Amino acid sequence: MNNFENRRVLIIDDDTRIHEDFIKILGEKDSKSEYNEIEAKLFSDEVSQVESIVYELDSAYQGEEGYEKVLAANSEGRPYAMAFIDMRMPPGWDGLETIKQIWQIDSQIQLVICTAYSDYSWNEVLYHLGASDRLIILKKPFDMVEVQQLTTALTTKWSLSCESISRLQQIEESEEKYRTVVDSVEDTIMTLDKEGNIMFVNHNPWNMINQAVGGNYYYDIKDEYREKVKQTVEDVFSKGEQKNIEYATSNGVNKTVWSEGRLTPNYKNNKVVAATLIASDISARKALDWQLRHDELTGLANRTQFSDYVKSCLANKDSEELLVILFIDLDHFNLINDCFGHELGDKLLVRISKLLSKKVDENEMLARLGGDEFAILKCVNKDDSWVHKYAESLNDLLKQPLTVAGFDIYPSASIGVVVVKDTATTVTSLLQDADAALYHAKSKGRNRYECFDQKMRDEVVKRVSMGNELRQAIENDQFEAYYQPFTNLSKGRVTGFEALIRWNHPIKGMIYPDEFIPVAEETGLIFSITKKMLMMGCSQIKEWQDMGLGDIVVSINCSARDFNEQNMQQIIEETIKETGADIKQLELELTESTIMDDAENSIECMRLLTDMGLNISIDDFGTGYSSFSYIKQFTIDKLKIDRTFICDTPQVQDDVAIVEAIIAMAHRLKIKVVAEGVETAEQLAFLQTAKCDVIQGYLLGKPMSSEEATSRLQQGDWPNQELIKKI
């Protein structure tokens, strides 16, 4: 007996005798009763075979009543398994109507319609009720055995069909549960056949694939990974082992999804029949990996990737091959950023990256190391001469004028080249060598390339040790200010001095600024040095003032790093206060590139300083990039024409024209002009006629110690009036 056993039988017939017959046939037999004994004799043995089944019989005498009983039984949760229904039951519903009604409220009940020969044929019944496996026609008069067998079969059928419905429900429920679990997993879970056809796939909002069951998974996989995945699936089938895979699929238009998955063989009868793939979306991790190894602006490799690549190339270097590393630095890129804005600067970098990418082959690498610095790793056969041609071609390529966002830009680049001779060397030292070569290219005037040689490394070492020595020199006050006079031509006398630093090294003797100022700038020590020079210069102003030597001006050279990174205004205020010097006698010399490094900030800073009464002059004018239109914005007092323009005057006409033009333009802007490096009387004569305001140079005085400057000031007649009058 199963849980669904139901032997409830409803008899619907208007004839009470029929009910009695059914009770006789199906009712509970009392083996001891007299009636049964007779019956047992009368009926064949078959009856006893069904004796064990006990039916629960119910009676209704009209179709409507039967309907009500079915309804009540269902609502009590005790439905009938079957009903015998008479075809004719006047005055109420006939059998067909009753069946129609009952089926509307009970879809499980098995029905037997009892008809006389005169009633409907089977076809007519079918016509009215439609085909059903729940309806049987029983012709009257009944055969007892037939009725019993029918009842047993139909009530059993009811139970079995209920049981199978319930089982199905259970399966559906469990399938549903399992579906919910599988679909709520963020990973893609699918079963593939040997050809990659999808036999099952979960569905979730994060789904990484476009394909449904029946589709082929390889279709989604990007070309470059397809073969690898195919091979792995085949391996899982042939070897029956688990395999890990990583690949990219394309999900919809242009969207790449990175997957990391594990393929597991599914066995049936000891044979692999499918492979289950559980794959996670690792796109976010891949994106992060990408970011860590790429430059976002240009999409090129970054420093990390470049170093790794150099390392792997060193490890796998072919003996016939030459590795060459080139560091490329755009000249004066800051200026482009300042003048045209960062957006244009970025566009220019992208353009340059595209130009450079044409110069590298597949197994080589172009990287952006940061800012305006690029690097190339070239692999070439052993022919040194090629390296020079290649570096030169890069210089030429980067010299081409470019139109970016409607502006014509004239870039140029400095390049440091390292030819890798020794594969035992480290990446770090190679990159340092490239840096050293680049440093040389820049210090030799930019827009050129330099190949690394050992001397450069020695110089780097020297610079590092000089940095350490400089630190001590600052502590031990080894600096001295030398003073070079400048002469005001209209006044015909020395009106001031430029303070030039000298390093009195205890062992090496006097060291000139060109040797150590760049190192001081690189190491950040320049600021302490400038402070010392300011202090010496201001004390000197005060001393000469106190000695009654007049309002002698002292100018101090200021580096880019001082000016842009430090609070110059505050330092000057403090120095002036401490020494008691008059700020009107202090001058600052700034080079154009110092100002242009961060033009906006410089302009603001210059305004603050000149508001305090300080004078500012532009040093080495003509070597930098600023134009007069820019200079208008500077609150400056003087321009110092670089000595490279003066040295060939008055012989070289171009220089004469340049100097005259600078003087004329400056005067129009009410800016005084100083000529630097005046060495000959001819130069002096030319500058006098050109209406230059102030001259400075060996002709009128070399840089000298404070004592010498003081004694010459005290002697008066300086410069020699004869020299000036002669002209």
Tell me the C-alpha distance between 104 and 278, whole Å: 48
Tell me the C-alpha distance between 138 and 142, whole Å: 7
Rule CB under 5 A: which of 221-260 touch Ca ion?
none
Q: Does 533 bind ligand C2E (CB under 6 A)?
A: yes
DSSP 219: G
Of 261, 345, 703, 719, the residue at the interface with ligand C2E (CB under 6 A) is: 703
Please say whether the beta carbons of 256 and 250 come within 8 A. Answer: yes
Of 281, 469, 589, 597, the residue at the interface with Ca ion (CB under 5 A) is: 589
Q: Residue 645 is which amino acid? A: F
The least CB distance from residue 679 to ligand C2E, in Å, is: 4
The least CB distance from residue 508 to Ca ion, in Å, is: 24
Q: If contact means CB under 5 to 8 A according to the sort of partner, which of ligand C2E, Ca ion, none does residue 649 touch?
A: none
Tell me the C-alpha distance between 104 and 88, whole Å: 20
Residue with tokens 């690394």: 452
Among the residue ranges 66-74, 91-99, 336-344, 510-518, the one whose residues contact ligand C2E (CB under 6 A): 510-518
Q: Does 485 bind ligand C2E (CB under 6 A)?
A: no
Of 295, 620, 655, 693, the residue at the interface with Ca ion (CB under 5 A) is: 620
Among the residue ranges 161-169, 436-444, 447-455, 675-683, the one whose residues contact ligand C2E (CB under 6 A): 675-683
The CA R_g of the chain, rounded to the nearest whole Å, is 52
Q: Does 587 bind Ca ion (CB under 5 A)?
A: no
Helix (H) or strand (E) holding 538: helix 526-546
The least CB distance from residue 640 to Ca ion, in Å, is: 5
Q: Which residues contact 465 (CB under 8 A, 6 or more apart)?
A: none
Tell me the C-alpha distance between 641 and 655, whole Å: 11
Tell me the C-alpha distance between 555 and 64, whole Å: 123
Binding string, 558-577, against ligand C2E, x = CB under 6 A?
A: -x------------------
**CB of 60 or CB of 588, closer to Ca ion:** 588
Q: What are phi and psi of 187, to 5 degrees?
A: -75, 160
**CB of 517 or CB of 662, closer to ligand C2E:** 517
**CB of 514 or CB of 707, closer to ligand C2E:** 514
Extract the tokens encoding 676. 């630097």
Cα angle 179-183-189, degrees, rounded to a multiple of 5: 100
Whether omega for the bond prior to residue 141 falls within 30 degrees of 0, making it cis, is: yes
Q: Does 65 bind Ca ion (CB under 5 A)?
A: no
Q: Compute CA distances 218 → 221, 250, 279, whole Å.
A: 5, 11, 14
Among the residue ranges 506-514, 603-611, 630-638, 661-669, the one whose residues contact ligand C2E (CB under 6 A): 506-514
Of 587, 592, 620, 693, the residue at the interface with ligand C2E (CB under 6 A) is: 620
Angle between the 95-105 and 63-76 helix axes, to the nearest 10 degrees?
20
Among the residue ranges 157-165, 183-191, 351-359, 672-680, the one whose residues contact ligand C2E (CB under 6 A): 672-680
Q: Give the full edge-to-edge strand order of the sheet including 321-330.
A: 365-370, 373-381, 321-330, 413-420, 449-451
Among the residue ranges 77-85, 95-103, 587-595, 704-712, the one whose residues contact Ca ion (CB under 5 A): 587-595
Total count of residues recorded for the chain: 727
Q: If contact means CB under 5 to 8 A according to the sort of partner, which of Ca ion, ligand C2E, none does residue 679 touch?
A: ligand C2E
The least CB distance from residue 638 to ligand C2E, in Å, is: 13
**CB of 70 or CB of 687, closer to ligand C2E:** 687
Tell me the C-alpha distance between 351 and 354, whole Å: 5
Q: How many CA atoms lie within 13 A of 210 on its CB side?
A: 14
Among the residue ranges 191-199, 245-253, 278-286, 513-521, the one whose residues contact ligand C2E (CB under 6 A): 513-521
Q: Does 683 bind ligand C2E (CB under 6 A)?
A: no
Start-to-end Cα distance in the chain: 138
The least CB distance from residue 480 to ligand C2E, in Å, is: 10
CB neighbours of residue 501 within 10 Å:
22
Tell me the C-alpha distance between 364 and 322, whole Å: 12
Q: Residue 601 is which amino acid? A: N
> Can you spell out the DSSP letters for 575-597?
HHHHHT--GGGEEEEEEHHHHHH
Among the residue ranges 73-81, 127-135, 343-351, 511-519, the one whose residues contact ligand C2E (CB under 6 A): 511-519
Q: Compute CA distances 605 → 306, 335, 640, whole Å.
A: 40, 18, 20
Of 215, 513, 518, 650, the residue at the interface with ligand C2E (CB under 6 A) is: 513
The least CB distance from residue 498 to ligand C2E, in Å, is: 6
Tell me the C-alpha distance between 270 and 418, whole Å: 62
**CB of 333 or CB of 503, closer to ligand C2E:** 503
The least CB distance from residue 532 to ligand C2E, in Å, is: 8
Please say whether the beta carbons of 650 and 682 come within 8 A. Answer: yes
**CB of 281 or CB of 589, closer to Ca ion:** 589
Q: Name the CA dihedral angle for 564, 565, 569, 572, rounded to a multiple of 10 degrees.
A: -110
Among the residue ranges 361-369, 373-381, 455-463, 676-684, the one whose residues contact ligand C2E (CB under 6 A): 676-684
Q: Does 505 bind ligand C2E (CB under 6 A)?
A: no
Rule CB under 5 A: which of 645-704 touch Ca ion?
676
Of 485, 622, 697, 719, the residue at the interface with ligand C2E (CB under 6 A) is: 697
Q: Does 178 bind ligand C2E (CB under 6 A)?
A: no
**CB of 336 or CB of 500, closer to ligand C2E:** 500
Rule CB under 5 A: which of 520-559 touch Ca ion?
557
Q: Does 592 bind Ca ion (CB under 5 A)?
A: no
Tell me the C-alpha distance between 673 and 693, whole Å: 5
Strand 615-621 to 638-641 pairing: parallel
Cα angle 32-34-38, degrees, rounded to a multiple of 5: 110
Of 259, 484, 585, 710, the residue at the interface with ligand C2E (CB under 6 A) is: 484
Of 39, 234, 308, 679, the residue at the interface with ligand C2E (CB under 6 A) is: 679
Q: If contact means CB under 5 to 8 A according to the sort of partner, which of Ca ion, ligand C2E, none does residue 697 touch?
A: ligand C2E
DSSP 206: T
**CB of 699 or CB of 713, closer to ligand C2E:** 699
Q: Does 518 bind ligand C2E (CB under 6 A)?
A: no
Q: If contact means CB under 5 to 8 A according to the sort of partner, which of Ca ion, ligand C2E, none does residue 513 touch?
A: ligand C2E
Tell me the C-alpha distance between 188 and 201, whole Å: 7
| Widest distance between CA atoms in the chain | 170
Q: If contact means CB under 5 to 8 A according to the sort of partner, which of ligand C2E, Ca ion, none does residue 281 touch?
A: none
DSSP 29: P
Q: If contact means CB under 5 to 8 A according to the sort of partner, which of ligand C2E, Ca ion, none does residue 98 touch?
A: none
Q: If contact means CB under 5 to 8 A according to the sort of partner, which of ligand C2E, Ca ion, none does residue 698 touch?
A: ligand C2E
Q: If contact means CB under 5 to 8 A according to the sort of partner, which of ligand C2E, Ca ion, none does residue 496 touch?
A: none
Q: What are phi and psi of 673, to 5 degrees?
A: -120, 135
Where do contacts with ligand C2E occur on this chain (CB under 6 A)? Answer: 484, 500-501, 512-514, 517, 533, 557, 559, 619-620, 643, 676-679, 697-698, 703
Where do contacts with Ca ion occur on this chain (CB under 5 A)? Answer: 557, 589, 619-620, 676
